[in-house]
Amino acid sequence: MNGRAFVAASSVIALVVLAPVAAAGQGAPRTPWGDPDLQGTYTNKTTTPLERPDNLADREFLTEEEVAERERAAVERNERLLLRPAEKTTVGGNVGAYNNFWLDGGTRPTGRTSLIFDPPNGRLPALTPEAERIRDEARRNRAAADSYEDLELNDRCLIWQAGPPMLPSAYNNNFMVLQTPGYVVIQVEMIHDTRIIPLDGSDHLPSNVRLWNGDMRGHWDGETLVIETTNLPRTEALAAAVGGDPILLRAANGRSDDTVTVIERITRVDADTLNYEFTIEDATTWVTPFSGEFPMRRLPSDELLYEYACHEGNYSMEGILAGERILEQAAAGK
């Protein structure tokens, strides 16, 4: 990531500078053509984990006191890590990894004990035996790193954990929502992806046409934008996971058929907040569907999206593969 303010290049985005207006008789703002207005730049960063910690058992919500205490502790931790002397092998893990300065997971919990609310235990469902096989093979392939195809999609700068679903990550958690008649566009700061979602009621693409972010179709359910995504990418190399993504959605869909469906629901709650909900269903991967929910909060007007200058084939790929060969030689006593 560098310091240049991100400038959207898509011709679709260039058409969407349209001011929201309030429709007669409607409490929420409307676009000039009458759709609910979701436009703005938002962040989904939160300290709430995807899955509920074991020590919270069946508790779905934190108390107000617990929310305040966790936010205070996160602020104090950030300050402590910022001010203490550099310890590059301690902060951020291995030598050369990002330290806390570069991370932006936020300080605020959502109020829930996990992003997942269904199943009621706040945990991911169990994997099917076939999904466990795919996961284990992906891990073996990545550990060997014989080829760039054995590495995760984020290692190759192809896609990150930016959607669908749009889960919080370690940094670059910002999203710009833009609308035109017939389209909603979501500009993602991570890997500078652009999700272009048609609202024309058209059918999904044939299942053999795969897109990095899947094939998205949207419609309005009252005040809520509903996005259905299918056709997520399928690869022969089963290490097609996305780093930092505990769902490993794209690795799960390393099949010959189209099995994964992601449903997202985005609703404007107030002037500065969108409620984001997702449901993932794939009976060949998880024994039950599962759903999660969290707020997306509007960024201050002086905060912008920045370019994520990651590109396929960058120099780190050569270093990763060369390092694996050195480890193999060392193991062989050479």
Give percent of the chain above pLDDT 70: 81
Tens-digit pLDDT profile for residues 263-279:
999 999 999 999 999 99
Average pLDDT over residues 238-248: 57
Cβ-contact 8, 70 below 8 angstroms: no
Statement: residue 94 has pLDDT above 50: no
User: For residue 4, is pLDDT > 50?
Assistant: no
β-bridge partners, 278: 264, 292
- pLDDT of residue 89 exceeding 90, the answer is no
The 10s digit of each residue's pLDDT in 100-149 is: 888 888 999 999 999 999 999 999 999 999 888 877 877 776 667 777 77
Residue predicted with more confidence, 221 or 285: 221
34 compared with 171, residue with greater pLDDT: 34
Is the pLDDT confidence value at 307 over 50?
yes
> What is the pLDDT confidence band of residue 239, given thresholds at 50, 70 and 90?
very low
Q: State CA 290 to chain mean position distance.
A: 16
Q: Is the dihedral of CA 148, 151, 152, 155 positive or negative?
A: negative
pLDDT at 7 over 70: no
Please provide the average confidence, as pLDDT, over all residues in the chain.
Answer: 82
Q: Which of residues 320 and 113 earns the better pLDDT score?
A: 113
In whole angstroms, give the CA distance from residue 180 to residue 107. Answer: 34
Residue 169's pLDDT is 85
pLDDT at 80: 87
Helices (H), the chain: 11-14, 64-83, 129-144, 249-252, 315-331
Q: Are 52 and 116 within 8 A, CB to CB?
A: yes
Residue 170, pLDDT > 60, answer yes
pLDDT at 24: 40
Task: Tell me how many degrees the CA angle 269-272-275 measures, rounded to the nearest 5.
Answer: 40
Question: Residue 36's pLDDT is what?
Answer: 97
CA distance 311 to 154: 10
The answer to whether 152 and 139 have CB atoms below 8 angstroms apart is no
Instruction: Output the pLDDT for position 191.
Output: 83
For the segment 9-33, what is each residue's pLDDT rounded down to a tens digit? 333 333 333 343 334 445 679 999 9
Tell whether the model's pLDDT for residue 177 goes beyond 90.
Answer: yes
Which structure tokens are listed for 277? Answer: 């909900």
DSSP β-bridge partners for residue 220? 225
d(CA 331, CA 299): 50
Half-sphere exposure of 27 (CA within 13 A, CB side): 6
What local confidence, expressed as pLDDT, does residue 262 receive? 96
**pLDDT score at 211:** 85
Structural domain boundaries in the chain: 11-62+117-331, 63-108
**Is the per-residue pLDDT at 202 higher than 70?**
yes
pLDDT level of residue 251 (50, 70, 90 thresholds): low
What is the mean pLDDT of the segment spanning 312-330? 83
The reported pLDDT for the residue numbered 86 is 64
